[in-house]
C-alpha cells in the first residue's frame, strides 16, 4: 500500500507545495518544493507531477502560492493578479480536465472572498478540501472496482494511474490495492508505456513497493498475451471523458482497447467523476497535447533515433465508448457507458 505522499502542502498560508519528483523515479526517490507559481508550472509541464487528479490538486495549491504574492494589494487587485496566475497554470497542459476543474473551483472560491484578510486562509482551506476529497475518491474507486479483480486473475494496465497520479491510492491501481487488502491473489502486467516509460518507471515501482505480483512487458507484447489467454482484464485511468463516454488516456490506450475487444477481454476505465467533461460531446473534440520530439528521439540523455528525423508525439489518444466495458468512478460503476448513464451518475 502507499507509504509515500505524491504531494503535500507544508506549513500554513505562507507554506509551500512538496512534490515527489517523478522525473527521477525509479532510480532516485526525492522531493521538490514549489514556492512560486512559476516553479509549479514547470513541475507540471516537465512531469515532475503528473496524472490528471494529482495535477488538479497541485494546481489548487498553486492558487495558494499565487495568493502569497498579494499581501500588499487591495482585494480587487489581488483577485485580478490571482486570476491571471490561474490562467497561467491552466496553460500548462491541455488534455487533463481535472486541472481546469480544480482551477475553476478555486476561482469560484476566490470570487466569494470579501475581505483581504481572509484571502489566503480561505484559498488554502479550499485547496486542502480538494486534496482530501481526492484521497476519499481514490478509496471509493478502489472499493467499487475491486469486484472486477477475481482470484488468480491477471490484470493489464497502461501508463501510471496509481498513487503517483493522485493524492490517494490512485484510480486504475486503486481496485488492485483494495483487492490486495481483501486477500485476493492476482498478478498485474504493466506496459512500459513509451516514450516516457511511466509504466516501467512508475507503475512497476509502485506495485513492487506494495508487494503485488507484477510483471513488466513492452508495449507491443500485450496482444500476444491476450491471444495466449494470459490477460483476464484491462484497467486503465483517464485524463478526460467526453459526455458520450469516449475517453482520452495515455497514448497506446486505444490500441489496448481494440486488442481487448478482439480477444473478448473486459476493458475498464477507472476515473473520478471530475474527469468527465460534459461540455464535450465526443472524444473527437478532446484537445490532445503534443509534446516535444526529444521525448521520442532521446531517453535518459541517450539518442534513440537518427538526428533530424521527423517525429510525431501526441501524449494521449481517445478510446471510443463502445470499446469500454465499464467506467469505475467514486460514485459507482457505469457499465456499457452512454451519455444517459453518465449524466445520471454525475447528478448523484
Nearest to 55 by CA among 18, 25, 92, 26: 92
Nearest to 17 by CA among 169, 171, 138, 123: 123
C-alpha cell at 316: 494521449
Q: Which residue has the cell 460531446?
A: 281
- Cα(61)–Cα(68) distance, rounded to whole angstroms? 11
Q: Which residues pair with 276 in a beta bridge?
A: 241
* Alpha carbon distances (Å) from 259 to 94, 149, 159, 175, 234: 28, 19, 17, 22, 10
Decide: helix, strand or coil at residue 239: coil
- Cα(138)–Cα(25) distance, rounded to whole angstroms? 22
Q: State the greatest distance between any 2 C-alpha atoms of the chain, in Å, as a whole number.
A: 67
Active site residues: 239
Amino acid at each position: 500500500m502507499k507509504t509515500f505522499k505524491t504531494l503535500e502542502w507544508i506549513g500554513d498560508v505562507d507554506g509551500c507545495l512538496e512534490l515527489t519528483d517523478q522525473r527521477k523515479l525509479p532510480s532516485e526517490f526525492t522531493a521538490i518544493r514549489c514556492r512560486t507559481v512559476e516553479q509549479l508550472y514547470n513541475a507540471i509541464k516537465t512531469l515532475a507531477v503528473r496524472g490528471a487528479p494529482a495535477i488538479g490538486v497541485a494546481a489548487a495549491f498553486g492558487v495558494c502560492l499565487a495568493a502569497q504574492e498579494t499581501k500588499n494589494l487591495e482585494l480587487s487587485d489581488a483577485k485580478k493578479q490571482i486570476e491571471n496566475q490561474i490562467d497561467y497554470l491552466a496553460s500548462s497542459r491541455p488534455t487533463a480536465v481535472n486541472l481546469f476543474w480544480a482551477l475553476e473551483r478555486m476561482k469560484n472560491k476566490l470570487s466569494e472572498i470579501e475581505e483581504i484578510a481572509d484571502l489566503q486562509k480561505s484559498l488554502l482551506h479550499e485547496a486542502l478540501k480538494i486534496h482530501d476529497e481526492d484521497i476519499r475518491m481514490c478509496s471509493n474507486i478502489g472499493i467499487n472496482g475491486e469486484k472486477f479483480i477475481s482470484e488468480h486473475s491477471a490484470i493489464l494496465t497502461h501508463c501510471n494511474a496509481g498513487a503517483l497520479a493522485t493524492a490517494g491510492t490512485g484510480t486504475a491501481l486503486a481496485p488492485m490495492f483494495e483487492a490486495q487488502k481483501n486477500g485476493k491473489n492476482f498478478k498485474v502486467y504493466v506496459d512500459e508505456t513509451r516514450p516516457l516509460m511511466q509504466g516501467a518507471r512508475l507503475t512497476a515501482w509502485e506495485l513492487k513497493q506494495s508487494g503485488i505480483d507484477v510483471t513488466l512487458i513492452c508495449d507491443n507484447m500485450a496482444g500476444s498475451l491476450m491471444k495466449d489467454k494470459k490477460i483476464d482484464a484491462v484497467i486503465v485511468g483517464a485524463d478526460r471523458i467526453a459526455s458520450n463516454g469516449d475517453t482520452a488516456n495515455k497514448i497506446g490506450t486505444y490500441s489496448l482497447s481494440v486488442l481487448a475487444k478482439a480477444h473478448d477481454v473486459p476493458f475498464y476505465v477507472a476515473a473520478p467523476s471530475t474527469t468527465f467533461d460534459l461540455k464535450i460531446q465526443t472524444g473527437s473534440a478532446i484537445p490532445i497535447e503534443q509534446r516535444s520530439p526529444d521525448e521520442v528521439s532521446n531517453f535518459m540523455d541517450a539518442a534513440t533515433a537518427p538526428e533530424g528525423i521527423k517525429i510525431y508525439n501526441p501524449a494521449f489518444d481517445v478510446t471510443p465508448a463502445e470499446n469500454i466495458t465499464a467506467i469505475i468512478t467514486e460514485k459507482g460503476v457505469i457499465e456499457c457507458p452512454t451519455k444517459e448513464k453518465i449524466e445520471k451518475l454525475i447528478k448523484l
